[in-house]
Amino acid sequence: GAVVSQHPSWVICKSGTSVKIECRSLDFQATTMFWYRQFPKQSLMLMATSNEGSKATYEQGVEKDKFLINHASLTLSTLTVTSAHPEDSSFYICSADEGTGGRETQYFGPGTRLLVL
Protein backbone atom coordinates (compact mmCIF):
# COMPACT_ATOMS: atom_id res chain seq x y z
CA GLY A 1 0.00 0.00 0.00
CA ALA A 2 0.91 3.66 -0.26
CA VAL A 3 3.34 4.94 2.33
CA VAL A 4 3.65 8.38 3.85
CA SER A 5 6.68 9.27 5.92
CA GLN A 6 7.30 12.12 8.31
CA HIS A 7 10.55 13.55 9.52
CA PRO A 8 11.51 14.00 12.24
CA SER A 9 9.52 11.56 14.32
CA TRP A 10 10.09 13.67 17.38
CA VAL A 11 11.72 16.98 18.12
CA ILE A 12 12.52 18.99 21.22
CA CYS A 13 13.25 22.66 20.80
CA LYS A 14 13.61 25.82 22.82
CA SER A 15 10.88 28.41 22.95
CA GLY A 16 11.25 30.96 20.17
CA THR A 17 12.89 28.69 17.65
CA SER A 18 11.33 27.44 14.42
CA VAL A 19 10.79 23.80 13.61
CA LYS A 20 10.25 22.25 10.19
CA ILE A 21 8.39 18.96 9.75
CA GLU A 22 8.50 17.10 6.45
CA CYS A 23 5.79 14.91 5.00
CA ARG A 24 6.64 12.72 2.03
CA SER A 25 4.61 10.36 -0.10
CA LEU A 26 7.08 7.58 -0.86
CA ASP A 27 5.50 5.63 -3.69
CA PHE A 28 2.80 7.87 -5.09
CA GLN A 29 2.21 11.44 -6.10
CA ALA A 30 0.07 13.40 -3.70
CA THR A 31 -1.88 16.23 -5.19
CA THR A 32 -3.23 17.13 -1.80
CA MET A 33 -1.73 16.76 1.64
CA PHE A 34 -3.33 17.52 4.96
CA TRP A 35 -1.87 18.58 8.29
CA TYR A 36 -3.46 17.64 11.57
CA ARG A 37 -2.75 18.36 15.17
CA GLN A 38 -3.57 15.94 17.96
CA PHE A 39 -3.44 16.72 21.66
CA PRO A 40 -3.13 13.85 24.16
CA LYS A 41 -6.22 11.67 24.30
CA GLN A 42 -8.02 13.85 21.80
CA SER A 43 -9.06 13.58 18.20
CA LEU A 44 -7.27 14.83 15.11
CA MET A 45 -7.92 18.45 14.30
CA LEU A 46 -7.36 19.50 10.71
CA MET A 47 -5.04 22.48 10.53
CA ALA A 48 -4.69 23.02 6.81
CA THR A 49 -5.01 21.55 3.36
CA SER A 50 -1.97 21.75 1.15
CA ASN A 51 -2.18 21.61 -2.63
CA GLU A 52 0.90 21.26 -4.76
CA GLY A 53 1.94 24.52 -6.30
CA SER A 54 -0.60 26.69 -4.54
CA LYS A 55 -1.17 28.28 -1.18
CA ALA A 56 -2.44 26.19 1.65
CA THR A 57 -5.98 26.53 2.91
CA TYR A 58 -6.09 26.98 6.66
CA GLU A 59 -8.90 26.00 8.98
CA GLN A 60 -10.59 28.62 11.04
CA GLY A 61 -8.54 29.56 14.08
CA VAL A 62 -5.22 28.33 12.69
CA GLU A 63 -2.64 31.08 12.34
CA LYS A 64 -1.15 30.86 8.88
CA ASP A 65 1.83 33.00 9.85
CA LYS A 66 2.52 30.69 12.76
CA PHE A 67 2.19 27.44 10.85
CA LEU A 68 3.80 27.85 7.45
CA ILE A 69 2.98 25.18 4.90
CA ASN A 70 4.83 24.62 1.67
CA HIS A 71 3.83 21.97 -0.86
CA ALA A 72 6.63 22.39 -3.37
CA SER A 73 6.37 19.05 -5.12
CA LEU A 74 3.95 16.19 -5.59
CA THR A 75 5.76 14.15 -2.96
CA LEU A 76 6.70 16.68 -0.32
CA SER A 77 4.88 19.06 1.98
CA THR A 78 6.48 20.85 4.90
CA LEU A 79 5.02 22.40 8.03
CA THR A 80 7.11 25.01 9.78
CA VAL A 81 6.14 26.03 13.29
CA THR A 82 7.58 29.52 13.60
CA SER A 83 8.69 30.98 16.92
CA ALA A 84 7.46 27.91 18.73
CA HIS A 85 6.10 28.20 22.26
CA PRO A 86 5.21 25.53 24.83
CA GLU A 87 1.55 25.65 23.82
CA ASP A 88 2.59 24.48 20.35
CA SER A 89 3.74 21.19 21.86
CA SER A 90 1.62 18.52 20.27
CA PHE A 91 1.53 15.55 17.91
CA TYR A 92 1.45 16.61 14.27
CA ILE A 93 0.21 14.20 11.62
CA CYS A 94 0.13 14.57 7.87
CA SER A 95 -1.90 12.64 5.34
CA ALA A 96 -1.97 12.48 1.56
CA ASP A 97 -4.37 11.33 -1.10
CA GLU A 98 -3.55 10.02 -4.51
CA GLY A 99 -5.57 12.57 -6.40
CA THR A 100 -7.87 11.64 -9.23
CA GLY A 101 -9.05 8.07 -8.88
CA GLY A 102 -7.91 7.83 -5.29
CA ARG A 103 -9.20 10.86 -3.52
CA GLU A 104 -11.33 8.90 -1.12
CA THR A 105 -8.34 7.19 0.44
CA GLN A 106 -5.94 9.16 2.54
CA TYR A 107 -2.72 7.70 3.81
CA PHE A 108 -1.39 8.92 7.12
CA GLY A 109 2.15 9.54 8.18
CA PRO A 110 3.42 8.18 11.50
CA GLY A 111 3.29 11.59 13.12
CA THR A 112 5.80 13.99 14.65
CA ARG A 113 5.91 14.66 18.35
CA LEU A 114 6.93 18.25 19.11
CA LEU A 115 7.95 19.37 22.56
CA VAL A 116 8.74 23.03 23.07
CA LEU A 117 10.63 23.85 26.25
Partner 1 sequence: AQTVTQSQPEMSVQEAETVTLSCTYDTSENNYYLFWYKQPPSRQMILVIRQEAYKQQNATENRFSVNFQKAAKSFSLKISDSQLGDTAMYFCAFMMLTRDDKIIFGKGTRLHILP
Scanning 21-29, 65-73, 75-83, 88-96 for contacts with partner 1 by CB under 8 A, the matching segment is: 88-96
- Contacting residue, 57, 70, 82, 89, with partner 1 by CB under 8 A: 57
Scanning 22-30, 43-51, 72-80, 81-89 for contacts with partner 1 by CB under 8 A, the matching segment is: 43-51
Scanning 22-30, 65-73, 79-87, 98-106 for contacts with partner 1 by CB under 8 A, the matching segment is: 98-106
- If one counts every other C-beta atom within 10 angstroms of the C-beta of residue 35, the result is 26
Give me the least distance between CB of 16 and partner 1, in Å please: 27
The residue among 90, 25, 77, 27 whose CA lies nearest residue 48 is 77
Query: Is 70 or 91 the residue whose CB approaches partner 1 more closely?
Result: 91
Torsion of CA 96, 97, 98, 103, to 10 degrees: -170
The residue among 59, 12, 3 whose CA lies nearest residue 36 is 59
∠ CA(104), CA(108), CA(114), 5° rounding?
Answer: 145
Query: Is 43 or 65 the residue whose CB approaches partner 1 more closely?
Result: 43
Distance CA 66, CA 39 (A): 18
Q: Which residues bind partner 1 (CB under 8 A)?
A: 32, 34, 38, 41-44, 46, 49, 57, 91, 93, 95, 97, 103-106, 108, 110-111
